[in-house]
Structure 1
């Protein structure tokens, strides 16, 4: 290339820095050459491999995060299922406890009713027995008073109607009857 420029200068022509009609000293040529040199250096230093390794590391990190998130989600679903089962069990246990409490309350009420009825029956029997005893005592007392009154009245009548002479006649008559009865 340099030879062409020298030959052209010797011929008195202006040196045209072109090869086959392509200008070598323009800006496009220098930018293209710089890019080729830069791409060559990048390939020589293995930058694409480093970029690929960096991207692979990021992909692996993201995949690990996704796997961890999936594991956390599975664990959360498992915990949710466990707590739902525990909640269902607790609800069932609460319902069972409520049913047992209601049954116990019914049993206590039934026992209280039975006990109250038995107590009322015992108290009625005691009251009836007391009334009957009071009636018997009153009847006995009345009989005693009537007997005393009758005895007193009979004694008074006998004392008024019978004297020693009437008694003598009664005794004689009784003795005479005894004699006939014994024979």
Structure 2
């Protein structure tokens, strides 16, 4: 080990002016020193099991990436499931909203039709009531005219009878009326 460290120290001390002088297998040849240093470096790496550690680190990193990819796939699948669920719910809500709007339109049309028919019946009742009031007023006017005509006729008849009737005729009429009443009551 001491020789390795001294060789490394000599390799570091070597100057570029001494580069590649002399035979290849000599400590004066920089190519040979670099080759020995490289072999020693590889030996140290193998001795401390650095390739195994690197391999283990790469495997761990690979398995970590794989687990992250699996988790990402699972999250993506879950997100797609949720998206499909929300889209389905959105479609259902939209369909329900369309049905509610259609039902509201139908209800509004039915209410408008009902209001029209109620208005028509109300107008018909008012027209009938007005016609009844007119007929009643007409009947009242006719009755009033008849009553007035009767009063006028009775007054005229009284005057005519009073002028043409004598006391004997009046007594005879009274006696006839009493006899008729007596005959009708018994």
TM-score (norm 1): 0.75
Provide the C-alpha distance between the structure 2 equivalents of 1:147 and 1:96, rounded to a whole number of angstroms. Answer: 74
Contact 2:26 2:32 in 1 (8 A): yes
Q: Match of 2:98?
A: 95
> Secondary structure of 1:158's partner?
helix
Measure the CA separation in 1 of the matches of 2:56 and 2:38. 24
| 2:24–2:32 CA contact under 8 A, matched in 1 | no
Q: Larger radius of gyration, structure 1 or 2?
A: 1
Q: Which runs of 4+ in 1 moved over 3 A?
A: none
Quote the Cα distance in structure 1 between the aligned partners of 2:24 and 2:31. 11
Separation (CA, whole Å) in 2 of partners of 1:91 and 1:56: 51
Larger RCO, structures 1/2 (Cα 8 Å, 6+ apart): 2
2:57 to 35, 45, 54: 54
- Cα distance between partner residues in 1 of 2:100 and 2:61: 57
Deviation at 1:41, TM superposition (A): 1.7
SS at match of 1:62: helix
Superposition RMSD on alpha carbons, in Å?
Answer: 2.1
Residue among 124, 130, 133 paired with 1:130: 133
Give the length in aligned residue pairs.
151
Per the alignment, in what secondary structure is the counterpart of residue 38 of structure 1? helix
Task: Give me the TM-score of the superposition, normalised by structure 2.
Answer: 0.74
